[in-house]
Structures are given as C-alpha cells and as structure tokens.
Chain A
Amino acid sequence: MILEAVRLALRSILRNKLRSFLTILGVVIGVGAVIAMVTVGQGSSQQVSASVQSLGSDMVVLRPGQRGFGPGSGPPARRFTLRDSDALAHLPVVRSVAPTANASATVVFGNANVSTSITGSTEAWAEISNWTFASGRNFSASEARAGAPVCLLGQTVRTKLFGASDPVGQQVRVKAISCTVVGLLGAKGAGSFGQDQDDLIVMPVRLVQRRLNGNDEVNAIQIGIAPGVSTAEAIGQITDLMRDRRRIGMGQDDDFSVTDMKEVASMLNSINSVLSGMLSSVAAVSLLVGGIGIMNIMLVSVTERTREIGIRLAIGATGRQVLTQFLVEAVVLSLFGGLIGIIVGLALAWGAGRFMAIPFAPDPLVVLLAFAFSAVVGVVFGFFPARRAARLDPIEALRHQ
C-alpha cells in the first residue's frame, strides 16, 4: 500500500512538473543553505585546527605592545632585541627561542622576480614553528649567528621563481644581497586567516637586521616551551622576566604581550562555529517557509482533487488510506526538495571552499540529518491537508465539480 502510494505520489508530482518544482523550491533553498553553511563552517574549522597543528605545539609568541590595543593606544611599544631573546633562552621553562625580524622585498632569480615577505630568524625557527624541509637543509647555528647570506624558500616563492625545479644551491638576489638557497620548506597551505603561509623567504636574523632593516630590532620572539611545563607557567615566567628587563614597576601595565597561539586558534574556532550556527539558523527559517509552501500546494491539491477523493472513498478507500496517499505525496515532494537541496548545498560549499581556499568537508551525518529533516517537513506540513482530504464526506466530494 505504501509502495502504491509512493507510485501514485510520483505520478501526481510528475504530472505538474513546474508546480512541483516551485513547491519544493523553498525546501531546496532551505536545505541547500543549511548544508552549504555547515559544510563551509566545518571546512574552515578543519582548516583552523590544521593551522594550529602547523603552528607547532607548546609555542607562545612574545610581541611588543599591549594585547587588544590598536596602534597608537597604550604606552609606546619598545622593541625587543636579540639580547631579550638570549635572556629568554636561559629560562628553564624555555626549550628554544626564535627571534624574528620581518621585512618585505623583491626577490630576483634570473628573469623572474617576486615580492614576498622576509622572515629573519635563527636556526630554531623551523623547529618551533613546525616547518618541514622539502629539500636541502636548515641554516646552521653559526650561519645564523654570523648572518651568513643563506636563505630558505617557501613553496609559493619557489614556484614563482623556479617553477618545479629544485632551487637548492642557486643564488637569489634579495635587494642588494646575493644569497644561496640552502633549503626548500615543505608546504603549509593557508593559515587561520586565509593568508598564504608559504609565501616567504627565511634568512638569518642578523642579515635581515643589518642589510634590510638597518636596525637591531626584532618584531617578535617565538618561544618553544620545555617539555612538561604548562603554558600558563611558562607565560608567567616569561612575563616576569620581561617586566624585569623592561623595568616595569608594580601596578604598571605590560608594554608587551605573550600570546598562546592555540588560544587564538580556539577563539577563531568558536567565532567560526557561532557564525556558522547563526547562518544555519537563518537558513533553517527558509526551510520553515518551504514547509508552508508545501502545505499551501497540498491544500490546493486536495481541493482540486476533491472528486478524486470522493471516487476513492466510494470505491472503498478508508480515510486512513486517503490520508496516507496525501501524506506520502507531501513527503515525497519534500524529499525531492531535500535531495536537490543537498546537491545544491554541497555544490555551493565546494565552490565557496575553492574560492576561500578552505577544505571541502562534507559531513555525511549532516547530509543525512538534512534529508531526514526534509522528510519531517513533509510529514508536518502535509498532515493538515491530508487530514482534510481524509475527512471529506464522500457524498459531498462526489458532488464537487
């Protein structure tokens, strides 16, 4: 009987293709939007957790200036120098430090040139920030100390300058410096904010300070925490040392910040989920509207087919069978909508993922839920019209023109 009802429902849906399509449009949009939102949201949170991993474990970043204030507010930010990072390296809670000095410059190899960011740091940088080497080697401690003209290329820079060939051993020119490529970094992909992490060149910090920036400042100090030490304790000791070195008295605010990158990542993640939750609930409203559309059309259909219902009742259909028929029709209709919506939603999420450079992460559970939910929409909004059909008086229904 159910099978019969499904067949019947398909026939009546196909009989009015355009009307059926317009009826389910609301459900298509609702399900599509929810699927797209959730899928994009999950993709970006996957990306955030991937970039947390790529940040390296147990790493904090020390920066001048108060956290949470934009430039110009708070006490003037005093820069750090290499002496600060040397002092930090002696703390027992610190495993390793990588002071970084940033610059940007055009890098030239043969006819090719590319504008990129330059990170000046020490040999500890690759390990703390969790970089791998695709080929070649890291620069050595002595090269770093001496500020030797050597550099590491990120994958994006390598592709722009060398294409697919191996740059190790080649000479590139960064402003006036001619330096030897000793290593090629492994790819990291997009970061938490969607920036390309592979678009960089790494050089010894002293080289960058002397030849590119012309000062002895470092922009930030990346600090690897010793094993078995909690992040909070390490941050405490680092803060104490820095307050002492910068002669910040009791009651005065820090003029620097220590950021636990994992904390940032988890904050990003929660912003992410709040945002996609909110968008999904907006999308869910259109599911409701879609349901009402189905109810409307089913009511029209019941009125239109009053005579048919009368005939069926006279021939021996029970009220329950008529109810089933119309309910199944509503459910089949909204399942169609759900199915198309899932396809549309996944396609949208895939397209958006490509556009925003985040991974495409369809969740089978969410897809299943959306499908089940569209069935529920059919049952809920199909029930009232179906009950109206089932309660028709056969004599009246047969007389209906």
Chain B
Amino acid sequence: MAAPLIEFRNVSRVYGEGEAEVRALDGVDLRIEAGEFVAVMGPSGSGKSTAMNIIGCLDRPTGGEYQFEGVPVQDLSPDARALLRRHYLGFVFQGFNLLPRTSALENVELPLIYKGVSGPERDARARAALAKVGLQGREGHDPSQLSGGQQQRVAIARALAGSPTVILADEPTGNLDSHRSHEILTLLQELNRDEGITIVMVTHEPDIAAYAKRLVVFTDGKITRDEPSAALAPGLTGAAP
C-alpha cells in the first residue's frame, strides 16, 4: 500500500526548556490520505496551529516523525522544505497575506516565479487560476481595491497557481461574514471534489467544519476526536448555512 500523503508518527513539538517547557504537540498520530478534506478544530493553544505549521513544513517536530508522501520531513534542510512547499503545498491564511500594492495577477504569479515558470505561460496560468476562483476581469486590481471575500479568493488562486497537492487553510473565513464564508468554503469543496486537491483547514466554528469530510479535534496537544464530519455537509446540497 502506498504511503499516506501526510503521516504523523508520535509527533511532539516542545517549546522552551526545563520549567518553561511547553508541549504544544504531545505524541500525535495522524494520517491524511490524498483527496481528503479535513477540518481541524480545537481551542486556542490546543496545538492545532502547531500541527498546521508542521504539516506545512514551516516548522519541524522535536520528537516523532512526519512523513510527507513517505518522505521524512524533519530530516530535510530548510531549502529542501522550501522546495517541498513550492511544489506540493498551497497556503491560505486568515489575514489573506497578499502583497500590498501588487496587482491580483502578480500576487498569483508569485509561486510560479519561484517555480521558474516565465513569460506567457506564467501569465496564462495565473489568469486561469484567477478565473477558476471567479475573478476574471480583476487581474489588475490591487488587494486594497478588492473586498475581503475577493482578497481571499485571490489568495486561493495564488495557492492554486502552483498546482499543489495539498492546500492548507488557516481559518480562511475568520475575517469574512457568513455569506462570503459560504462562497469561499464552497470554492474549497469544489477544488477538493473536482481537482482532487487535499485540503486541511483550521477553524473555530463547527458549522464551517461541517463543510469538510473529516473532523479532527485537538485538545492540549493531543487529538481527542477524529471522525467523519457531521453528515449535514450543507455545501454539498447547496444550502446556505
């Protein structure tokens, strides 16, 4: 059997030493297969953000093993992890994190620049990604000229442009009203269903988590619940939450 896409084996992440030691993750085992849509929940300080950072290869476990497609990530150099992010991962942040004073198109082109795609091909792929999130005609707009929902869609287009295997979304709707949230989550569901992109999404709200297929809950650095997401799945039936 092929290795799972993402596998945590007894992963720990400890900050500080001695008295000040904080165990953000404490022996976590987790497997995520390709094509899943996983919602990660938990109170602040439960370790869910730390887990996301480790999955995103931005951070490394201090104990245990994290394999991405069978490759142990904790042994990779910072540059190798940068390459892994470049070719397999896309990030969507709560605060959108678009480059200011830079057009939507150029923001979306960013991962392609680092992938070494240039000229007309880069332009075409960036435009295609923007079209996929419904932003054709807004290519030349600066982030400041776009609404929050549109900015988040630019961010998703940016994650998409690099043709990632996994999109990691950290509270993607945290700054959006419920209507915009529904749009973004539906978009993520479509990408998961139609493009086969694995999505791992951190959220605080159960009704947002309900858009995912699987729910993982962290408490005090450990996984306390791991189950199929509430079958209501409103996005799949097209109903607004």
Interface residues of chain A, those whose CB is within 8 Å of chain B, are 1, 4, 15, 307-308, 310-321, 394-395, 398
> Which single member of A316, A319, A320 contacts B85 (CB below 8 Å)?
A316
Residue of B nearest to A11 (CB): B102
Contact check, B99 vs A308: say whether CB atoms are below 8 A apart.
Answer: yes
> From residue B144, how far is it (CB to closest CB) to chain A in Å?
14
Check if B82 sits within 8 Å of A398, measured CB to CB: no
CA distance A311 to B79 in the complex (A): 15
Distance (whole angstroms) from the CB of A359 to the closest CB of chain B? 49
Can you name 29 A-B residue pairings with CB atoms under 8 Å?
A: A1-B116, A4-B118, A311-B98, A311-B99, A311-B110, A312-B110, A313-B58, A313-B82, A314-B58, A314-B85, A314-B91, A314-B97, A315-B110, A315-B158, A315-B162, A316-B83, A316-B85, A316-B86, A316-B89, A316-B111, A316-B114, A316-B162, A317-B86, A317-B114, A318-B79, A318-B82, A319-B79, A394-B58, A398-B93
A15-B101, A315-B86 given. 9 additional CB < 8 A pairs? Answer: A1-B116, A310-B97, A315-B110, A315-B162, A316-B85, A316-B86, A316-B114, A318-B82, A398-B93
User: Would A315 and B91 count as touching, CB distance under 8 A?
Assistant: yes
Chain A nearest CB, measured from B43 CB (Å)? 19
User: Could you say which residues of chain B place their CB within 8 Å of the CB of A319?
Assistant: 78-79, 82
Chain A residues positioned under 8 Å from B58 (CB to CB)? 313-314, 394-395
Residues of chain B contacted by A395 (CB below 8 angstroms): 53, 58-59
Residue of A with least CB distance to B99:
A308
**Given contacts A15-B101, A312-B110, is CB(A317)–CB(B82) below 8 Å?**
yes
Interchain CB contact under 8 A, A315 and B114: yes
For A307, list chain B residues within 8 Å (CB): 97
CB distance from A387 to the nearest CB of B (A): 14
CB distance from B25 to the nearest CB of A (A): 14
> Shortest Cβ distance from A388 into chain B, in angstroms?
15
**Chain B neighbourhood of A308, CB < 8 A:** 99
- Alpha-carbon separation in the docked complex, A265 to B69 (Å): 81
Size of B's binding interface in residues, CB under 8 A: 27
Interface residues of B in 39-75 (CB under 8 A from A): 53, 56, 58-59
A312 to B87 Cα, complex, angstroms: 14
Residues of B within 8 A of A316 (CB): 82-83, 85-87, 89, 111, 114-115, 162
Q: Assess whether A321 is in contact with B101, with CB atoms less than 8 Å apart.
A: no
Question: Which B residues form the contact surface with A (CB < 8 A)?
Answer: 53, 56, 58-59, 78-79, 82-83, 85-87, 89, 91, 93, 97-99, 101, 110-111, 113-116, 118, 158, 162
Q: Is the interface of A mostly helix, strand, loop or mixed?
A: helix
Contacts known (A311-B99, A395-B59, A398-B97); A318 close to B110, Cβ less than 8 A:
no
Return chain B residues, CB-CB under 8 Å to A1.
116
A313 CA / B84 CA spacing, docked (Å): 11
Bound form: Cα–Cα A312–B107 in Å: 10
The 3 A-B pairs of least Cβ separation, nearest first, read: A316-B86, A318-B82, A316-B85
Q: Given B59, B78, B111, which contacts A315 in the complex, CB threshold below 8 Å?
A: B111
CA A1 to CA B86, docked complex, whole Å:
15
Residue of chain B at shortest CB distance from A401? B95
Among A308, A315, A317, chain B packs the most CB atoms within 10 A around the CB of: A315
Closest beta carbon of chain A to B90's beta carbon, Å: 8
Distance between A108 CB and nearest chain B CB, rounded to angstroms = 76
Bound Cα distance A28, B98 (Å): 35
Q: Is the CB of A321 within 8 A of B93?
A: no
Q: How far is the CA of A308 from the CA of B106 in the complex (A)?
A: 13
Q: Which residues of A contact B110 (CB under 8 A)?
A: 311-312, 315
Smallest CB–CB gap between B74 and chain A, Å?
16
Shortest Cβ distance from B8 into chain A, in angstroms? 18
Query: In the complex, which residues of chain A have a beta carbon less than 8 angstroms from the beta carbon of B59?
Result: 395
> Which residue of B has the minimal Cβ distance to A310?
B97
A318 to B80, CA, bound (A): 8
Report the separation of the CA atoms of residues A319 and B78 in the bound assembly, to the nearest whole angstrom: 8
Query: Once bound together, how far apart are the Cα atoms of A315 and B114, in whole Å?
Result: 8
Within the assembled complex, what's the spacing in Å between the Cα atoms of A13 and B172? 32
How far does the Cβ of B16 sit from chain A's closest Cβ, in whole Å?
Answer: 15
Q: How far is the CB of A102 from chain B (nearest CB, A)?
A: 74
| Complex-state Cα separation, A84 to B82, whole angstroms | 92
Q: Which residues of B contact A317 (CB under 8 A)?
A: 82, 86, 114
